[in-house]
Amino acid sequence: MTVAGITSVQKEGRVFRPPKGFQKRAHIKSMVTYEKMYRQAYRNPGGFWAKAAKELVWFKPWSKALVWNAPDAKWFVGGKLNVSYNCLDRHLSTWRRNKAAIVWEGEPGDQRTLTYQQLYHEVIRFACVLKSLGVKPGDRVAIYLPMIPEAAIAMLACARIGAPHSVVFGGFSAQALKDRILDAGATCVITSDGGYRRGGIVPLKVNVDESLKGVSIVRHVLVVRRTGTPVSMAPGRDVWLHERIVELAARGKFSCRAEELDSEHPLFILYTSGTTGKPKGIYHSTGGYLTQVSLTCKWIFDLKDEDTFWCTADIGWVTGHSYVVYGPLANGATTFMYEGAPNHPGPDRFWDMIDRHRINIFYTAPTAIRAFIKWGDDHPKKHDLSSLRLLGTVGEPINPEAWMWYHRVIGGGRCPIVDTWWQTETGAILISPLPGATPTKPGSATRPFPGIVPDVVHKDGTVCKPNEGGYLVLKRPWPGMLRGIWGDPERYKKQYYGDFDGIYFTGDGARRDKDGYYWVMGRVDDVINVAGHRLGTAEIESALVLHESVAESAVVGRPDDLKGSAIVAFVTLKGGQTATPELKDQLKAHVGKEIGSIAKPDDIRFTDALPKTRSGKIMRRLLRELATQGEVRGDTTTLEDFSVLEKLRSEEE
């Protein structure tokens, strides 16, 4: 196996040790401590995670820490708890009740701060509204909101009453939303009249209305007023949040106790791209997920009571679930939320907010860092970033030079960087430095978190030698792991445990160096990581073929300095259709409408035919090589028609 990009970082030799001052105050202060914890967790994983779980409030204790029958895991069997209670109620009997839980800024500049006491009351009211609409434990609720406090409030309200939520990224189209509503079987949708993005308004309610045409399972749409944009309200189905709150207030005091839920009760479903074209509904449990998210948030970000923690992810992605909402709030921290674009009204928006809000921990994606580099050093240098004490990256591997810029320009050379590796499926961070202990190497996620047992193997399952590229696998279960693909247990087994018997295959390529540091090289399957967002090639291909002019398409990714990967589509047209620049623009817009703007191809190449094997399978590897290198270097022995390849080469030239 060849893992793209491996040679670019193999020679990386720079090492950065934790600053002495940081180390002195850190939760985990040395590699000696880390190594001891890792050994203990390896020998007794149930005991290690049970100790972490005891930091949460349980209504009923568990009888057994783990029951593992690959690929199915149950953690903290028989235990009962509630995520909303652990994020809110338990803090109210302490000084934290008057501490800021959420500090929020909208793109137009409006601001809100909610203390833990205030957030608790908002969640209670929201939960009462959901119950008034007939939402019960086990009912699925779709959330399609901008990054406003109500997004976190809605999640916590669903968790409180035991209704698994399915958050859909606000940048997705009506069709993508519809697919996810139907797959989850959601009976209620929470949205807003709109949201702000780059000075414009994203028409979220309009998209919901479009998505629900012909959909009968959704009984109610709960609408949050954000922009004041006039929207249509379907009688009997659509309800304004503020109006229902007034109605309920007139009836008496708001009250909603936290449901005592089984540790394995589904907390949320989150859709991620797959290779079949149908998004996968990854679902996570309650007890195991919160245990791991809470502990990783505390140790990896060295979270302190006085910190303001900003994870820039949208709640439509797992990073937003775990490290904007549940992880920080379970720890009683202050989490910062921002609604809009990083360059509106100017390229210094992020640095301005860090300066004004005195952000201490900043967690963002390499694609954002590359954009910051492109925009220039002058923008961060205009602002006081001295409040920062820790930086983090997430979503994709970071190239060493971007790491160095982040360290030097944003961190001032004083802030440790935690380069984290994990997935929607893992629920929480699995490989990362512990900032007070781990010496870091630019481009490496370093060592696994205690209790996590990864490996790098060949296709036959044998372990790779140091610095040898292979497949990244996880050899033992972990509490935050997915419990399955919603409604499709067979797909779950095949997708994650079909390649290596009883071992989880991450889908990523990696190498492990002589120091045991992991260097993750990205996807080895047909999923493209664009700006930290995983997009299935089959889903984009399906959207292209829906266009009346397109006969067939094949989509691949190519390296991109800004986004990590760019989307390249090879398209064959139906008879009588002509390849024109105007048609390229139409097809890009069409994909944006079907899936969302994030999925628009960066490049569309028209071709008479696609390279296929004798069995009719499109050879995407050859297209990927053409898109990346301009030529094909790999094995072509299974190619059916070599003239197709020659034509593609000439078109490339």
Share of the chain above pLDDT 70, in %: 93
What DSSP state is assigned to residue 258? P
Residues 6+ away with beta carbon under 8 Å from 515: none
**pLDDT beyond 50 at 48:** yes
If you average pLDDT over residues 629-643, what whole number do you get? 63
* Neighbour-count burial for 76-109, b at 16+ CB within 10 Å, e otherwise: beebbbbbbbbbbbebeeeebbebbbbbbbbbee
CB atoms under 10 Å from CB of 578, counted, come to: 9
CB atoms under 10 Å from CB of 608, counted, come to: 12
* Neighbour-count burial for 438-476, b at 16+ CB within 10 Å, e otherwise: bebbbbbbbbbbbbbbbbbbeeeeeebeeeebbbbbbeb
**pLDDT beyond 60 at 653:** no
Share of the chain above pLDDT 90, in %: 77
Half-sphere exposure of 623 (CA within 13 A, CB side): 27
Compute the distance between CA of residue 254 and CA of residue 249 in angstroms, rounded to an integer: 7
In this prediction, residue 629 carries a pLDDT of: 77
Residues 6+ away with beta carbon under 8 Å from 216: none
Residue 202: in which H helix or E strand, if any?
strand 200-202
**pLDDT beyond 50 at 584:** yes
In this prediction, residue 620 carries a pLDDT of: 80
Q: Which is more confidently placed, 371 or 216? A: 216
**393-426 pLDDT, tens digit each:** 998 888 888 899 999 999 999 999 999 999 999 9
Render 46-60 in DSSP notation, one character per residue: HHHHHHHHTTS--SB
If you average pLDDT over residues 17-32, what whole number do you get? 96
Q: Which of 97, 469, 569, 45 is nearest to 292 (CA)?
A: 45
- pLDDT, mean over the chain: 92
Residues 6+ away with beta carbon under 8 Å from 152: 102, 119, 315, 324, 325, 329, 335, 337
pTM: 0.89
**pLDDT beyond 60 at 128:** yes
Compute the distance between CA of residue 148 and CA of residue 430 in angstroms, rounded to an integer: 28
Render 625-640 in DSSP notation, one character per residue: HHHHHSS--S--TTBS
Render 398-439 in DSSP notation, one character per residue: --HHHHHHIIIIISTTTS-EEE-B--TTT-S--B---TTT--
What DSSP state is assigned to residue 321? I
Residue 208: in which H helix or E strand, if any?
helix 204-211
If you average pLDDT over residues 593-609, what whole number do you get? 91
If you average pLDDT over residues 240-266, what whole number do you get? 95
Dihedral pair phi/psi, residue 46, rounded to 5°: -60, -40
**pLDDT beyond 70 at 598:** yes
The alpha carbon torsion through 35, 40, 45, 48 (nearest 10 deg) reads -90
In this prediction, residue 370 carries a pLDDT of: 86
* Segment among 175-179, 427-431, 647-651 with least mean pLDDT: 647-651
**273-292 pLDDT, tens digit each:** 765 567 899 999 999 999 99
**327-342 pLDDT, tens digit each:** 999 999 999 999 999 9
**pLDDT beyond 70 at 651:** no
Compute the distance between CA of residue 652 and CA of residue 301 in angstroms, rounded to an integer: 46
Domains annotated for the chain, with CATH where assigned, are 12-63+79-184+251-448 (3.40.50.12780), 527-652 (3.30.300.30)
CB atoms under 10 Å from CB of 362, counted, come to: 27
The alpha carbon dihedral of 313, 318, 320, 322 has a sign of negative
Compute the distance between CA of residue 52 and CA of residue 62 in angstroms, rounded to an integer: 13
Render 453-515 in DSSP notation, one character per residue: -EEEE-TTSPBPPTT--EEEEE-S--TTS--EETT-HHHHHHHHHSSBTTBEEEEEEEEE-TT
In this prediction, residue 278 carries a pLDDT of: 75
**pLDDT beyond 60 at 170:** yes
In this prediction, residue 8 carries a pLDDT of: 41
Quick one: tokens of 41? 């967790």
The alpha carbon torsion through 563, 192, 113, 162 (nearest 10 deg) reads -90
**pLDDT beyond 90 at 543:** no
Give the model's confidence band at 10: pLDDT under 50 very low, under 70 low, under 90 confident, else very high: very low
**pLDDT beyond 60 at 304:** yes
* Segment among 18-27, 217-226, 588-597, 624-633 with least mean pLDDT: 624-633
In this prediction, residue 9 carries a pLDDT of: 47
Task: Report angle CA 296, 562, 519 to the nearest 5 degrees.
Answer: 45
Q: Alpha carbon of 608 to those of 541, 547, 570: distances in Å?
A: 16, 17, 10
Cβ pair 277, 541 in contact under 8 A:
yes
In this prediction, residue 3 carries a pLDDT of: 35
Quick one: tokens of 260? 């005592």
Compute the distance between CA of residue 553 and CA of residue 576 in angstroms, rounded to an integer: 17
At 606, is the secondary structure helix, strand, or coil?
Answer: strand
In this prediction, residue 613 carries a pLDDT of: 62
**84-119 pLDDT, tens digit each:** 999 999 999 999 999 999 999 999 999 999 999 999
If you average pLDDT over residues 356-362, what whole number do you get? 98
If you average pLDDT over residues 376-393, what whole number do you get? 97
Q: Alpha carbon of 5 to those of 11, 471, 510, 558, 560: distances in Å?
A: 12, 14, 10, 11, 12
Quick one: tokens of 282? 């990854």
Residues 6+ away with beta carbon under 8 Å from 68: 74, 477
Q: Which of 269, 298, 326, 291 is nearest to 479 (CA)?
A: 291
* Segment among 154-158, 249-253, 469-473 with least mean pLDDT: 249-253
Quick one: tokens of 70? 């690959």
**562-574 pLDDT, tens digit each:** 888 899 999 988 8
At 315, is the secondary structure helix, strand, or coil?
Answer: coil
Separation of first and last alpha carbons in the chain: 28
